[in-house]
């Protein structure tokens, strides 16, 4: 295995690579075990935010998880929360950034996560598709996003209602995590792929040095064990 130094900027080295993942695991456990009401996880794509979160919720299997991915309307948000409003319910919104840019959807989440009790959520217009006009919400919410929360006025409005973890990895840390996953992989080509990512880090650029890229390259090794590197180049890696 080729070696890489994770400390490319001492100012960003407050936590080690393992500590950063452990912090996310602890926060997810906190929500799963009813200690934390809500959590926003922000970070770049392909570093394992969703994987770690979902794995933690399965390990600490104390909540009924209702997951929404991608686009949903404010009415979708209202009906989901109203249909599953109890304390045992945990709503996981993953990559729903367009939804939360809508002020109506954002206000629904703000009401659901109010620090005052009871948390009453209202649907202020007539719609036959709304499950009710108002309800009391006692559940929890986790939001996973690639958006910069602090720079987004829509997400900033939620910060006083949620715990927020900015989960980021430097380029060397990304490579180290890929090497760690490769070392544990049963795929005989895994370390070869990890070393190729190491050797081509400059060409790949920060965004492409990710666990998703690692998995996609492994798929190419299954397609062509001898020529997978040529395929990788042809596919823009």
pLDDT value at residue 15: 82
The tokens for 216 are 């996609």
Domain spanning 10-166, CATH architecture: 3-Layer(aba) Sandwich (3.40)
Rounded Cα–Cα distance for residues 90 and 105 (Å): 17
Is the per-residue pLDDT at 129 higher than 90? no
10 pLDDT band, cuts 50/70/90, is very low
Confidence of residue 71 (pLDDT cuts 50, 70, 90): confident
Among residues 89, 88, 54, 52, the alpha carbon closest in space to that of 69 is found at 54
Q: Residue 118, preceding bond cis, omega within 30 degrees? A: yes
- Whether the CB-CB separation of 168 and 17 falls below 8 Å is answered with no
135 pairs with which residues across the strands?
A: 121
Contacts of 135 (CB under 8 A, 6+ apart): 81, 82, 85, 120, 121
Q: 147 pLDDT band (50/70/90 cuts)?
A: confident
Count other C-beta atoms under 10 Å from residue 163's C-beta: 16
98 Cβ partners below 8 Å, 6+ apart? Answer: 71
Domain boundaries, the chain: 10-166, 171-234
């Amino acid at each position: 295995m080729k070696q890489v130094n994770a400390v490319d900027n001492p100012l960003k080295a407050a936590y080690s690579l393992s500590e950063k993942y452990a912090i996310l695991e602890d926060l997810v456990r906190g929500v799963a075990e009813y200690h934390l009401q809500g959590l926003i996880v922000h970070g770049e794509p392909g570093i394992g935010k969703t994987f770690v979160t979902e794995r933690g919720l399965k390990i600490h299997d104390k909540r009924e998880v209702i997951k929404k991915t991608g686009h949903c309307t404010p009415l979708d948000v209202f009906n989901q929360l109203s249909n599953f409003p109890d304390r045992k319910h945990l709503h996981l919104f993953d990559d729903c950034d367009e939804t939360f840019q809508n002020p109506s959807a954002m206000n629904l989440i703000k009401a659901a996560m109010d620090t005052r009790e009871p948390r009453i959520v209202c649907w202020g217009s007539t719609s036959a598709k709304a499950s009710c006009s108002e309800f009391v919400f006692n559940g929890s919410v986790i939001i996973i996003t690639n958006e910069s929360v602090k720079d987004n006025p829509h997400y900033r409005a939620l910060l006083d209602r949620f715990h927020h973890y900015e989960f980021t990895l430097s380029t060397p840390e990304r490579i180290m995590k890929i090497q760690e996953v490769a070392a544990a992989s049963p795929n005989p080509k895994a370390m070869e792929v990890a070393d190729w990512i190491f050797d081509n880090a400059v060409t790949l650029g920060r965004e492409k040095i990710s666990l998703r890229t690692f998995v996609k390259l492994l798929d190419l090794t299954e397609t062509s064990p001898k020529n997978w590197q040529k395929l990788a180049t042809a596919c823009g890696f």
